[in-house]
Chains A and B, each alone.
Chain A
């Protein structure tokens, strides 16, 4: 260390004296080497005493003494030479031995150092005593020798008769046992010297083998930082060293351009700037109401939870077993609550709600995916919807209670009719009889067996005669029940018997007028008008001379016949088939004729003989029709439960449709004097309505339902079949499928 420092100092001081100092340095170096060698010597001397004992045998076998000096490496040569030089003066006697010793030691050292290497790969250095080369020594394990020396003679293995015990003893007794190693090449044991041990240790520690080697020598800089007076080289500077580089310029300009264009951005501040992110966004409240905001439909808020959702609800909100079962059966969409109400005795027992995230997610979906529509919620008081009508009390009189029941028929009572005097009631039934009742006493005065189901009965409206038209099968009978005073009976007889001389002109072949005889005559049947087809309905003209009969038929134009009783004439008024005729009626005052077909009502002028109006009833199938006594209003009942009121002055469409009944309307009727009308239906009810008609054309009729009458028993799904008002009293008669006739007063 001192040496080197000195050296550097020297060099710094004077460079020129380098050559001079060379000699001096050499000397110093030699001295240094001497010291090392001397040290070596000392240690070697110490070892010698031990080795002499142990190594004597080795030397014999290995023949080291012979080959020792010869087999030295080139590296060692210099040293050996120096050794020779140095030692030649000192000791001559021991020269040889020492030489051998030292060389041996060197060998051993080398071997120790390079042992690891030998195990793995070969190197240039070869063992000079054994010429077998670098081979695995196991190959010789079966031979007595271990290799060959330079002369080609076998080198024999040292005799090893040490067993375990010897080994152990050796271990116990020999103090150098730990430093004894076996030389594989020669097979001999070698005891390592202190120096060698030291070396091994140093190598194991990863230090340099040489003790005196300094790893941290000061760096000798080739160039000093001091500016030298003269250049190191004499080469002139390049031209490019003082011309700006085009390449760089190109690159820089590209970067500048990129920055300008915003392609390159300065590095962003990496730290989270969220703390200072927020500011007063609504600092300047502009009230600009965009059109968008006017159109905006805010999403409805989530409904607030009720008692059901509580963790500890009142017991009535918990599900019973049935409710729970129902809840489980239902589709998740149909359920009233998306959860089952549960009760927990304390807050710590409440678990997490498993569908919480789902619910939030569904809300999200609703917000952005669900189509929105503005719906006007009707917030009406239901009471306000009910129309304000005059009280029924103020609209009296009208029938309110059932007062009489006329029993006697054994079949459905299809038709009833009240005599114009208001004293008698005639009824025709399916049991083939026509009965005459006294209205006030409900007594059946007379029964006429006509021999067939009676479809329709109609009392002649002329009060001066007492006749009844009865429709059964294909015949129309004219009865004279003789239930009036003599004058009337006589006049009716006169009417029937008068026109003998006048022969029928029209409809000859169609209708056969015949007087009845014998039994029938006794019963009161006076005339029989034979029709070609089954007759459904008969209707009198107000004067009581004309009689219309209906024979519904799809395919024929012969559906309606008008008979003149006094002259016994019949005629077919229509040349064309305009649909299935349901019902006909004469206008009460003027010469008009109403024909109700399946869908519409036709009004014909009998004088002009043409169609004046066609009323469209908005119903599927008209069942019955009635004409207001004033003649300007018509009501139609239909099988689809409707009743339509036509105002002939107003329109051909119904003025009012009434859907009061729940089943097919069978019959409708007007009261002759009072502003009342009624409808009867299969649901067994009769609805009486008040229907005021004003003379003032500007005022529409007032229609108010005033009473629902019930009494008939529904049989065979048929309720009330016919309904008629009393001609003078506010009474109503009804006949039903239960074979009774009832009077409501």
Chain B
């Protein structure tokens, strides 16, 4: 046919991908450096559509990067910094070997460093992009901020993480952006809405970590490096969007108040600690009074829907959920989390002076409305306040309303804590507690529970009895028919001539609706038979998934029922 023979794997998808080792060789980097570069630049492997084609006919497991991505890395200035660092390490080693301490010192002073600003800008060209990706950054920073200041990673990193997370929390408080909270066995999940983006992060419980050995902390540290930079810039921008001063400062009035009573540490230190106590509001670049006035001037746009307005109102209502309530935290309650949540929703909060800096009022304050404690009983109780368990606060936030406090008194068996992130669709299992809360939200008042239960019991019993009766009747009829038939058969088998007898035939009432249904079902079955192979497969898959869901929901319901029954029987026994 003429022309050069086309070689295989020189065009198409094979030319668009590159294996990791080849990429590394092309960049002339060691594996750790390559890894660090990938983490910082956000380069990840791609799964090719046709792996065999890309892999030049082999089916061996390989990770592929897009060739374009790797070419893009070639021009990264940070690669040069990596090389500088390598040289630096070599020189330092040499100087140590020669015991040239002055050289060591000089080298250490000129240790090559790099900045990630341009990378952040490049990876997140707009601020919203950055916000969208901030989940992981927050989780990581919150984790690192709980590390002990020894081993594992640099103390500066830990301090920086702590600072950034405190700044973040302060921002969330000031903008009252928090939406949902969930206490899980892993840690506490928070979800905030910042500039229309839902941001979720998890904070581990305040315990020292049992550092696992099978975790590569270098990888985590590289991520943290990137994340702290990102979070710093995001914080800066967020603070400025609220006219707050960054780095954050306390409101001057509050500061003046507090300056008097503490003199135990350096001002910078105490300042940061006060910030982390989350008890004071932040200083603004423009005074807050003006801003409020400006807010008042706004009026609703005409085109806005009523629904939207309502939603907005609801949101505002939620933001002021704890407004006017005064909380006091006993020392065993998780202070930081509770203070954060309560202040996010406009409540006032304080704690024992000896527990942490930044407490604003004493236990003896008569205006305290809620005292949060996590112990079975408190000896000295004030009459004019509720003593409740911490879960109340979280449940209120998730229910978007103040729940009745009776269920949360000290020493009371707490109602289950539900995840606010689950949104039940039709057909899903909804735990009864959720139904109760939904009823409360709709404004229905729960009847006295015990009465209800009794009624339910009675009804159920009646129903059951009724069912049984009906069933029995049916059974009897069937049995009679069967007996007749059997008799006839026996007679036939014995060869006796049948006693000719005409019995009046019973007209079986045919359930037309049921027949119709059956017909429809058959139609459907037949139609399914005519499906194409591909569609049939898909259909089967979907139906399988649906069935599984139903099965799981049923299982949960059954489990719940069994549990409730067991509880009831226990109660009855106790009564007797």
Please report A residues at the B interface, Cβ cutoff 8 Å.
265, 267-268, 270, 272, 274-275, 277-282, 285-293, 295, 297-299, 301-302, 304-307, 309-317, 320, 339, 341-342, 345-348, 350-354, 356-361, 363-365, 367-373, 378, 380, 382, 385-389, 391-393, 658-660, 687, 703-708
Contact = CB atoms under 8 A, between A and B. Distances in A.
B389 A347 contact: yes
B126 A285 contact: yes
Given A310-B418, A311-B183, A370-B45, A316 B560 contact: yes
Given A380-B538, A386-B524, A368 B416 contact: no
Given A275-B247, A372-B46, A352 B205 contact: yes
Nearest to B332: A348
Contacts of B160: 274
A83 to B, nearest CB: 61
Contacts of B210: 352, 354
- Among A272, A277, A278, A706: residue with most chain B CB under 10 A: A278
The 9 closest A-B pairs by CB, nearest first: A304-B421, A373-B47, A352-B207, A316-B560, A371-B47, A371-B45, A309-B184, A316-B559, A278-B236
Is chain A's binding surface mostly helix, strand, loop or mixed? loop
Given A272-B156, A703-B530, A281 B237 contact: yes
Nearest to B182: A305
A703 B556 CA distance: 44
B425 interface: no
Contact of A311 (B117, B184, B525): B184
Contacts of A312: 183, 391, 414, 416-417
B556 A317 contact: yes
B64 interface: yes
Interface in B208-249: 209-212, 214-216, 219-220, 223, 232-233, 235-237, 240, 246-247
B235 A360 contact: no
A277 to B, nearest CB: 7
B109 A278 contact: no
Given A339-B185, A372-B47, A373-B49, 13 more contacts: A293-B125, A301-B135, A306-B419, A310-B184, A315-B416, A348-B374, A359-B186, A364-B220, A371-B64, A382-B539, A382-B543, A387-B527, A705-B530
Contact of B186 (A309, A370, A382, A391): A309
B529 A357 contact: no
B417 A356 contact: no
B237 A280 contact: yes
Interface in B107-161: 109-110, 117, 120-121, 125-127, 130, 132-133, 135-136, 139-140, 143, 156, 160
- Among A280, A360, A373, A658: residue with most chain B CB under 10 A: A360
A385 B527 CA distance: 10
Interface string B26-62: 0000000001001100011111010000000000000
A307 B422 contact: yes
Contacts of A386: 524, 527-528, 531, 539
Contacts of B133: 298
Given A346-B389, A365-B219, A311 B44 contact: no
Nearest to B183: A311
Contact of B240 (A280, A347, A353, A358): A280
Contact of B45 (A279, A358, A372, A707): A372
B5 to A, nearest CB: 32
A380 B422 CA distance: 23
Contacts of B132: 298
B233 A306 contact: no
Nearest to B64: A371
B183 A364 contact: no
A514 B535 CA distance: 58
B207 A351 contact: yes
A275 B156 CA distance: 12
Contact of A373 (B46, B130, B215, B527): B46
Nearest to B562: A316
Interface string B169-205: 0000000000000111111010000000000100011
B520 to A, nearest CB: 10
Which bucket holds chain B's interface residue count?
35 or more
B186 A278 contact: no
Given A282-B121, A290-B125, A305-B184, A371 B247 contact: no
Contacts of B334: 347
Given A268-B110, A364-B219, A387-B531, A306 B422 contact: yes
Given A290-B125, A310-B416, A358-B215, A385 B530 contact: no
Contacts of A389: 526-527, 530
Interface of B: 35, 38-39, 43-47, 49, 63-64, 66, 68-69, 72, 109-110, 117, 120-121, 125-127, 130, 132-133, 135-136, 139-140, 143, 156, 160, 182-187, 189, 200, 204-205, 207, 209-212, 214-216, 219-220, 223, 232-233, 235-237, 240, 246-247, 332-334, 374-375, 389-391, 413-414, 416-419, 421-422, 431-433, 519, 522-531, 533, 535, 538-539, 542-543, 546, 556-557, 559-560, 563
- Among A286, A297, A363: residue with most chain B CB under 10 A: A363
Contacts of B531: 385-387
A281 B400 CA distance: 36
A310 B182 contact: yes
A311 B210 CA distance: 20
Nearest to B235: A278
- Among A288, A352, A372: residue with most chain B CB under 10 A: A352
9 contacts: A281-B233, A295-B66, A297-B46, A310-B417, A315-B416, A347-B374, A380-B538, A385-B538, A708-B526
Contacts of B546: 382
A275 B236 CA distance: 11
B44 A367 contact: yes
B235 to A, nearest CB: 7
B223 A364 contact: yes
B219 A392 contact: no
B143 A357 contact: yes
Contact of B135 (A268, A302, A320): A302
A272 B538 CA distance: 60
B120 A281 contact: yes
A282 B47 CA distance: 32
Nearest to B389: A346
- Among A282, A310, A358, A367: residue with most chain B CB under 10 A: A282
A350 B125 contact: no
A314 B69 CA distance: 48
A354 B246 CA distance: 36
B219 A288 contact: no
A743 B39 CA distance: 74
A347 B390 contact: yes
B529 A705 contact: yes
A346 B414 contact: yes
A352 B204 contact: yes
Contact of B414 (A309, A345, A392): A345
